[in-house]
Amino acid sequence: MQFTKKSQEHIDSCRFCWMCHHVCPIGNATGLERNTARARALGLSLVMRDSIEYSDDIINNVYECSLCGGCMTDCVTGWDPVMFTKEARLGAALDGKLPEYVMTMLSNLNEKGNIYGADKNENIPEINGGDTLFFLGEDTRAKSCAKTAVELLQKAGVEFTLLKDEPNSGYSMDFLISAAAETKAMMENCAKVLNNYKKVVCYDPADAKVMMREYKEWGIEVKAEVVTFTRFLAELIKDGKLAVKNSGKEFTPQDSPILARDLEETAPIRDILSACGVVNEMLLNRAYTMLAGNLIMNEYMPNVIEKVAENRWFNAKNANAKVLVTTSTAEYEMLLKTKPEDMELKKIEEVVAECL
């Protein structure tokens, strides 16, 4: 396993540091030292020095990271455990040492178009309505539903297209094997479709992230303007295309780490909730949010990911939250699975629809 000089520097720095020990959602869920950035860096540093083999245990540990970036946000020295973790995943792929559960997901992706092995969702309609593409994404098509979101866009008079056979954005490939040639090929294929439109509205922040960030790093041109569904929805309300009435109800936003940290987008969800009611913040919000779920990791460590979601409900309860509102498909599905009976969970579009 060969690491770039930049990753070697970050690995050597992180292996001595405990600064982000308390912010890892996986480490907090398992209570294990191995699930911290420091422990991961320590293991990879030994591999880097040929002191130990790039063993199954080390590789599994690499896949126990959610890549949420909480460790980076809490680091005042600028080290990046996400970078060397993704590089380690790429190394496992290039060395032919991917875990069986990763190989299964990649096989599902090739055969079904999604890592979950789910059959094509026949409940998703094909809408040919304009030069704005509403992009649902892999998680939504395989695991969830965006019916209310589609209906909101229609009520707002938005002329949009919804594809029956939507290309995969490459998010799951980037998560599982990082910057491999196969990842780039999938992203290039998706970009060709996106370039048929003037604007792409991404329902899932995960797809927005790769289109707005990773595509640029690959040098993949996307001519269309890419925006998140949350930002687009906030603009529809601001422009009066969706006339919402303030219910006075209290809403607590669950900031998606992808939106808040990767895309630095935290205002739109609050603009929407302020128009619909009153915002009640959790202590850990915006860039300091905590992950509430990951559907990819739920495929191979479900008990841990359920605990991650339960921990976020605990944070919400401590803030006296009554209605938790999310913009992420993965987080919604895991929060729904672990929801306390005395609390409510809403997608952002559900809040808006109820206030029209």
- Domain segments of the chain as ranges: 5-94, 132-233, 237-354
The per-residue pLDDT for 162 is 98
Which residues in the chain show pLDDT less than 70? Answer: none
Neighbours of 202 (CB within 10 A): 26
Topology (CATH level 3) of domain 132-233: Rossmann fold (3.40.50)
pTM beyond 0.85, yes or no: yes
Amino acid 19: pLDDT = 85
pLDDT score at 17: 87
Asked if 315 and 284 count as a contact pair (C-beta separation under 8 A), the reply is yes
Chain segment 298-337, per-residue pLDDT in tens: 999 999 999 999 999 999 999 999 999 999 999 999 999 9
Query: Which pLDDT score, from 0 to 100, does residue 134 have?
Result: 98
pLDDT in tens, 242-257: 999 999 999 999 999 9
Asked whether 229 and 201 are in contact (CB, 8 A), the reply is yes
pLDDT digits 0-9 by tens, 97-108: 999 999 999 999
